[in-house]
């Protein structure tokens, strides 16, 4: 793995952790009652899109490597 892949993998793990903890908090609240709840929603959606795009990139790399083995 090159440096770029390692950095992307690190960003993927960080965004996964953010999504996990922010998602748990969002599931536990019923209404947005404070500024903190609004910030958690903002952080959740800001980390969702990098996570999705990097996941698609890594899945594509995995599929390409599996198909090249044959």
Q: Residue ranges per domain, the chain?
A: 3-69
Q: What is the DSSP string of the chain?
A: --HHHHHHHHHHHHHHHHHHHHHHHHHH-SS--SHHHHHHHHHHHHHHHHHHHHHHHHHHHHHHHHHHH-
Please write the tens of the pLDDT for every residue from 21-69. Answer: 999 999 999 888 899 999 999 999 999 999 999 999 999 988 998 888 7
Q: Check whether 3 has a pLDDT greater than 90.
A: no
Q: Token pair for residue 12?
A: 């993927």
Model confidence, pTM: 0.82
Compute CA distances 70 → 57, 63, 64, 65, whole Å. 21, 12, 11, 9
pLDDT at 20: 97
Q: Check whether 1 has a pLDDT greater than 80.
A: no
pLDDT at 70: 64
């Amino acid at each position: 793995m090159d440096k770029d892949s390692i950095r992307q993998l690190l960003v993927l793990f960080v965004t996964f952790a953010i999504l996990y903890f922010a998602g748990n908090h969002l599931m536990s609240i019923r209404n947005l009652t404070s500024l903190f709840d609004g910030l958690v929603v903002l952080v959740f959606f800001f980390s969702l899109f990098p996570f999705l795009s990097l996941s698609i990139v890594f899945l594509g790399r995995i599929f390409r490597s599996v198909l090249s083995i044959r």
